[in-house]
Structures are given as C-alpha cells and as structure tokens.
Amino acid sequence: MKTAVAGAQRRARSGEIAPETVADAAVAALPSHAASLRPVVNATGVLLHTNLGRAPLSAAAREAVRAASGCTDVEYDLATGLRGRRGQGAVEALLAACPPAEAAHVVNNNAAALVLAATVLARGREIIISRGEMVEIGDGFRLPDLLVSTGARLREVGTTNRTTAADYAAATGPDTGFILKIHPSNFRISGFTAAAGIAELSALGMPVVADIGSGLLAPEPLLPEEPDAATALRQGAALVTASGDKLLGGPQAGLLLGAAEPVERLRRHPLARALRVGKMTLAALEATLRGPQPPAVRQLHIAVTELRDRAEQLAKELAEHAVDALAVDSVSTVGGGGAPGVELPSAAVSLPESYEALLRERRVIGRIVAGRLLLDLRAVEPGDDVRLRDAVLAGGHRASGRAATVPVPGDEA
Ligand SMILES: *Cc1c(COP(=O)(O)O)cnc(C)c1O
C-alpha cells in the first residue's frame, strides 16, 4: 500500500500516468475538434463578421456539405454513367434565383470572379473605372491592384465624389475591354456627389461589368441602397460579380452571372480551372439557393420585439444567479462589406466588461460599448441563447469578483 502511494506520488511529480487511468487520460487529451477552427457564437451584432467567417450556413447547406464530402457525383451522370458537367446543380439554382441571367459560373470568391473577368475581357486593354470606386476591400487588399495584376490597364475617370456618364463616354475607345462599376460596399460618400448608373453606361456600347459585392440576387426591401444582380442585368450589365458568403448567406464563393457569351468565355479560359470551387462549396451554394432561408437572411429580418423578448428572458435568468445582467436596446449592422451605414435596431444583454475575456474563452464573442459588454442577439441563433447563458454562468464567479474560490489555471500563487 505504502509503495502504491509512493508510486503514485512519484508519477504525479514526473507527469507520468498511472496504468489504470491511461485510457481516460488519452481521451481527455484528444482535441474536441480535429481542426483548429472552432465554432463560436457571434454576439457582436455584426451579421456578416469577416473575422468570424461571414455568413453561417443553413442547416440544409451543412447537411449538403456533409453529403458531398465523401465520394459524390460532382462530375458524373448517374443516369448515363458518363461524365457530367461539374457544378450543374448550383448553376441551375443560380439561374432559377436570378431569371435575367442567361448563364452563371462559380469561382472561389468575388475577387477571383473579378480576376477572371479582367483576364479574359481586358488583358492588355483598358478597364474604365470611376475614381470614386477604387476600393480597398480589407486586410490591405485593393481592387485596383487586383485588376492590374491581370495585365489589364485601369483608365480612371471622374473624381472621388462625382463621375458622370460623359466621363466614361470620353474614355471609351478601341482599347476598352469593359466598363467596371464597383459597388462601394464598405464606405459611403455623401454630399456633392454624382455617379453614373448601369443603364446609362450600357448605352455607351461597351460591355459593363458590375461588381455588386454582397450577392443579393433580387432587391432587398430592407436594404434599398444595396444593388442586386437581377436589376443590374436588366439595366444592361453584361456580367455581374458577387460574393456567395455575404447577403446571399451561403459559402465563400464568387458568382458570375450574365449573358451566355461572356460567361462561357470565362468558363472555358485556362485560368478558370485554377479558380474553380470544390464539391462542398457547390453543395452548400445549391442548398443555400434552393433550401430554407439561410441564417444571415433570417437574422436580417427578425423583428426587434422578438430580440427584446429573448434579451429580457436571458437577463432575467442571469439576474436570478446574481449576475449583473440587463436587457438593453442595441444597434446591429450588416458588416462584411454590405450595406454600409445601415443600422438595424436590436437587443442585447449588457454585462460588466470583465466578462469579455471569460466569454471569449468559451467562444462567445460580444462587443464592448461604453464600458459594458453587450451580447447582441440579432446574429445569435435562438437555439444558442442557452449557450450564452451557460457561458456567462460558468464564468460568473470570476467576472463578478465575488466568491472567487475556484482556482483559475495559472492563477496559483
Ligand atoms: C466583398 C467585396 C469584394 C470581395 O469579395 P470576396 O468574395 O471577399 O473576394 C469585392 N468587391 C466588393 C464590392 C465587395 O463588397
């Protein structure tokens, strides 16, 4: 007996594991996820948070990804046993959701869509672009640099605040590849401004490529300033480019929609092979388009009264455990390069700021406003409210400074 105790003490000192606990220790040491990307709860109030992966997929899209992740008929026709056209289902879903588009093609992201369009339609030629639309999209990446990297030349027209159709008209010529309209999706210019519309530009007789950014396929009444693909095509755009993981609410992807001829040229260009998407992206995109409303779209439309009810319920449950929690009004934004300046009324649970790090440890990300941590519920799936509550309660004894009897790892004197 004495030797067993001494053995255990020796093992504990040396970090060895007792034979009878080897299995438990091995299981405990397994990571909870095989990859380092972990799920988080987005309580920031920013619907499409770039640092949190932009749009969360719908349950239908996740299921489609799971189904496609093994061997799948992505390029195989099960009826004939012959090679099938890759991504046909996603393309058909896009065309069904955007009737003015004759053809569609899917690439890795909107930046890739622009690279493909510039390479195929304007390499060695000019892209006419307004000085007010020379946009940096984030993390130091600038669309003008991206376009020039393809071997196209930029022909800047107009000024930062005002560019007219006449400015574009004066710049068109035999060297023109296309006119590019970029939606200023992450900033707003107000005051003495003017911009030419797609309809006016299409009348100039040059192809117009419209980068609408956020991926709305049809107008969204809640976001009247946000351009959509169907309207841009009806106004005469030859090609529309957009992201799949912004307001469309799907996976990271670049959408190219437009007239049959340019889309087919893009699709058959050698570079298209380097920009193509995987089977899981195609599956998620198709399910997003055909399935129930994805979370981002649902969250955009939730009534603020519903959010207030949830915030009050959560605050009440937390207050019952002596947590300093209040239900408060809040303001959400679309984020992720969509609808700049649009404020969506929301509701949040307000906590002492000291909860920020504790909740982050438990993968709940809020935002700090005026010395309080707000957990904004607009981008939180209702089923995750209980995760928020449990995360707060689990961290409570440390954040409140009261009853700090549970030792914190690394906190020992
Ligand atoms: C977001 C955005 C892009 C970049 O899209 P990615 O899908 O992230 O490559 C390009 N243009 C506009 C107008 C955007 O809003």
- Please give the number of the atom of ligand 1 that sits closest to the Cα of 338: 15
What's the pLDDT at 1? 46
9: pLDDT confidence band, cut at 50, 70 and 90?
low
Would you say residue 337 has pLDDT above 80?
Answer: no
Indicate whether residue 57 lines ligand 1 (CB < 6 A): no
Residues in the chain: 413
Instruction: Give 182's strand partners.
Output: 211
Which residue's CA is the nearest one to ligand 1's atom 15? Answer: 213
Indicate whether residue 130 lines ligand 1 (CB < 6 A): no
What's the pLDDT at 413? 31
**Token pair for residue 107?**
């690439």
User: pLDDT exceeding 70 applies to what percent of the chain?
Assistant: 91
Q: Residues 356-406: pLDDT tens digits?
A: 999 999 999 999 999 999 999 999 999 999 999 999 999 765 655 544 333
Indicate whether residue 109 lines ligand 1 (CB < 6 A): yes
**Residue 220 alpha carbon to ligand 1 centre in Å:** 18
- From 50, 110, 255, the mutation candidate for ligand 1 (largest count of ligand atoms within 8 A of CB) is 110
Would you say residue 4 has pLDDT above 80?
Answer: no
- Residue at token pair 């998620």: 284
What's the pLDDT at 183? 95
**Residue 11 alpha carbon to ligand 1 centre in Å:** 56
What's the pLDDT at 408? 35
What's the pLDDT at 407? 34
Indicate whether residue 250 lines ligand 1 (CB < 6 A): no
Which residue's CA is the nearest one to ligand 1's atom 5? Answer: 110
**Residue 246 alpha carbon to ligand 1 centre in Å:** 9
**Residue 186 alpha carbon to ligand 1 centre in Å:** 10
Would you say residue 257 has pLDDT above 60?
Answer: yes
12: pLDDT confidence band, cut at 50, 70 and 90?
low
Would you say residue 117 has pLDDT above 80?
Answer: yes
Indicate whether residue 163 lines ligand 1 (CB < 6 A): no
Indicate whether residue 108 lines ligand 1 (CB < 6 A): no
Indicate whether residue 275 lines ligand 1 (CB < 6 A): no
**Residue 154 alpha carbon to ligand 1 centre in Å:** 18
What's the pLDDT at 299? 97
- Please give the number of the atom of ligand 1 that sits closest to the Cα of 244: 7
Which residue's CA is the nearest one to ligand 1's atom 11? Answer: 213
What's the pLDDT at 193? 94
Angle formed by the axes of helices 279-290 and 88-97, nearest 10°: 30
Which residue's CA is the nearest one to ligand 1's atom 13? Answer: 213
Residues 6+ apart with CB under 8 A from 304: 345, 346, 347
**Residue 362 alpha carbon to ligand 1 centre in Å:** 31
What's the pLDDT at 369? 96
Q: Residues 291-306: pLDDT tens digits?
A: 999 999 999 999 999 9
**Token pair for residue 15?**
């970090």
User: pLDDT exceeding 90 applies to what percent of the chain?
Assistant: 83
Indicate whether residue 228 lines ligand 1 (CB < 6 A): no
- Please give the number of the atom of ligand 1 that sits closest to the Cα of 111: 9
* For residues 180-193, average pLDDT: 92
Q: Residues 193-247: pLDDT tens digits?
A: 999 999 999 999 999 999 999 999 999 999 999 999 999 999 999 999 999 999 9
CA distances 99 to 95, 178, 257, Å, are 6, 23, 10
- For residues 5 and 282, the model is more confident at 282
Separation of alpha carbons 322 and 85, rounded Å: 60
* For residues 33-46, average pLDDT: 93
**Residue 53 alpha carbon to ligand 1 centre in Å:** 14
Indicate whether residue 281 lines ligand 1 (CB < 6 A): no
* For residues 130-139, average pLDDT: 92
What's the pLDDT at 410? 31
**Residue 184 alpha carbon to ligand 1 centre in Å:** 10
Q: Residues 136-163: pLDDT tens digits?
A: 988 889 999 999 999 999 999 999 999 9
Arithmetic mean of pLDDT over the chain: 92
